[in-house]
């Protein structure tokens, strides 16, 4: 059976409660050993760089799984793309997983590549799932098993891709035309949230007209922020022309709130977490109360170790991982108390950025890329795996 079809059918059968449990880690998280990424609040200090130039907490190891321009596995002639960016993992029917990674190359030389792992963590295949697009920056995984890849250009679109490579990618124009960055799906409210990488970018919400997983028709809205009794809340205002054919999407609603360089976005426990690189902030939007707060601000933090905020990933326990674009080339964890703790640091690649952090389905392995590697060029990007020793 086509794996993507199977996942869509499974999603529809599970319903919101079942999918929410799956997304929170489910049985895989409950059965996880103490050597995995179950809790990140007490991971300990970073150790000296390993053979790959990565500083890690004690008990963890790194390996390179792909390099730009090289074949990740002899099972395929596919060469890993340049400028690897946003990514996500998807389970396969035989107990393995697929890690997908955007290519932020310009002039229709971007797209999405995929690494397929078996249940033992060995790479068994590599292939493309999207080609001939431009500056595919971040995106987001859907609960029904697809990858939403976002173009970070003025005429940028969102493409829904099959991680297994069995079905051709499809453009989703209802999600708007603008400098897309990332997407997070909200099943409870039948919508998807999108960030825009502009100094005065908007925070968007696409509401499906027919119900998820249908992304073909719907309403595109943009966030306005209102204050009541000293607390900020979001109000959603409809955009009349999602394609921005005459006026840019964010300019169609004068009362929208400008977010300074929207970057990564992810959901956990009815809350949307996203970053803005222009002011080095991490935000939290409560989809139930509509309240929005800044949970980290480098300008006011008592421990401002996190700068260049970019892609986001979240553990089942609610720890927020933020990858740095520049900064100290770290992935920093904001614990459930919103305290910043370094998870890892890449040494000797200061002209790069960390992209695409994503856990495998068991939360035992973490994948991410250094977009420009040691030379500072996208053609020398490196994709890594982090896991506990012995995994």
Please give the pLDDT value at position 391.
73
Mean pLDDT of the chain, nearest integer: 91
Please give the pLDDT value at position 30.
31
Whether 28 has a pLDDT exceeding 70, the answer reads no
Is residue 103 within 8 A of residue 149, CB to CB? The reply is no
Please give the pLDDT value at position 104.
98
Whether 225 has a pLDDT exceeding 80, the answer reads yes
Mean pLDDT of 238-256: 97
Q: Say which CATH number the domain at 212 has.
A: 2.120.10.30
- The CA distance from 162 to 95, in Å, is 17
* Phi–psi pair at 20, nearest 5 degrees: -60, -40
Q: Quote the tokens at residue 128.
A: 């493309």
More confident residue, 88 or 14: 88
Mean pLDDT of 379-391: 92
Please give the pLDDT value at position 41.
65
Give me the DSSP letters along 66-131.
Answer: EETTS-S-TT--PPPPSSEEEEEEEE-TTS-EEEEEEE--STT-EEEEEEEE-TTS-EEEEEEEEE
Q: How many CB atoms lie within 10 A of CB 30?
A: 10
Is residue 53 within 8 A of residue 348, CB to CB? The reply is yes
Confidence of residue 17 (pLDDT cuts 50, 70, 90): very low
Is residue 226 within 8 A of residue 235, CB to CB? The reply is yes
Domain membership of residue 233 as a residue range: 3-388
Please give the pLDDT value at position 352.
98
Q: How far is CA 179 from the centre of its chain?
A: 16
Q: Quote the tokens at residue 357.
A: 């952090």
Is residue 205 within 8 A of residue 221, CB to CB? The reply is yes
Q: What percent of the chain has pLDDT over 70?
A: 90
Q: Tokens 């740095």 correspond to what residue? A: 324
Are β-strands 330-334 and 320-324 bridged in parallel, bridged antiparallel, or unpaired? antiparallel
Is residue 119 within 8 A of residue 95, CB to CB? The reply is yes
Q: How far is CA 288 from the centre of its chain?
A: 22
Report pLDDT digits (tens) over 122-179. 999 999 999 999 999 999 999 999 999 999 999 999 999 999 999 999 999 999 999 9
H/E element, 28 = helix 26-30
What is residue 36's DSSP assignment?
Answer: S
User: pTM of the prediction?
Assistant: 0.91
Confidence of residue 317 (pLDDT cuts 50, 70, 90): confident
- The CA distance from 37 to 59, in Å, is 11
Domain count, the chain: 1
Please give the pLDDT value at position 123.
98
Report pLDDT digits (tens) over 55-107. 999 999 999 999 999 999 999 999 999 999 999 999 999 999 999 999 999 99
More confident residue, 181 or 5: 181
């Amino acid at each position: 059976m086509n794996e993507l079809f199977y996942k869509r059918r499974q999603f529809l059968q599970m319903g919101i409660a079942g999918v929410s449990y799956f997304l929170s880690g489910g049985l895989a998280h409950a059965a996880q050993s103490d050597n995995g990424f179950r809790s990140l609040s007490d991971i300990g200090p970073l150790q000296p760089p390993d053979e790959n130039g990565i500083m890690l907490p004690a008990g963890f190891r790194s390996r390179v799984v792909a390099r730009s321009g090289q074949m990740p596995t002899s099972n395929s002639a596919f060469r890993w793309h340049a400028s690897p960016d946003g990514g996500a993992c998807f389970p396969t029917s035989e107990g393995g997983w697929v890690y997908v990674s955007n290519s932020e190359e310009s002039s229709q030389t971007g797209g999405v590549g995929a690494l397929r792992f078996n249940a033992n963590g060995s790479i068994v295949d590599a292939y493309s799932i999207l080609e001939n697009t431009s500056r595919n920056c971040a995106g987001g995984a859907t609960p029904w098993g697809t990858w939403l890849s976002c173009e970070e250009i003025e005429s940028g679109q969102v493409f829904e891709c099959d991680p297994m490579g069995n079905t051709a990618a499809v453009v989703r124009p209802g999600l708007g035309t603008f400098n897309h960055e990332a997407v997070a799906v909200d099943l409870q409210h039948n919508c998807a949230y999108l960030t825009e990488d502009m100094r005065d970018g908007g925070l968007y919400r696409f509401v499906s007209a027919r119900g998820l997983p249908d992304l073909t028709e719907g309403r595109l809205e943009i966030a306005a922020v209102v204050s009541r009794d000293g607390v900020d809340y979001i109000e959603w205002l409809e955009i009349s022309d999602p394609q921005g054919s005459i006026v840019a999407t964010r300019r169609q609603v004068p009362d929208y709130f400008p977010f300074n360089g929207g970057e990564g976005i992810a959901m956990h426990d009815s809350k949307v977490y996203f970053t803005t690189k222009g002011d080095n902030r991490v935000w939290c939007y409560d989809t139930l109360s509509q309240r929005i707060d800044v949970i980290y601000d480098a300008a006011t933090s008592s421990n401002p170790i996190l700068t260049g905020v970019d892609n986001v990933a979240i553990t089942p326990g609610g720890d927020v991982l933020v990858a740095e674009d520049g900064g100290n080339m770290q992935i920093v964890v904001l614990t459930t108390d919103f305290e910043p703790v370094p998870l890892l640091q890449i040494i000797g690649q200061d002209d790069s950025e960390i992209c695409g952090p994503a856990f495998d389905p068991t939360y035992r392995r973490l994948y991410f890329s250094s977009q420009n590697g040691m030379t500072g060029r996208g053609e020398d990007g490196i994709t890594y795996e982090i896991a506990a020793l012995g995994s």
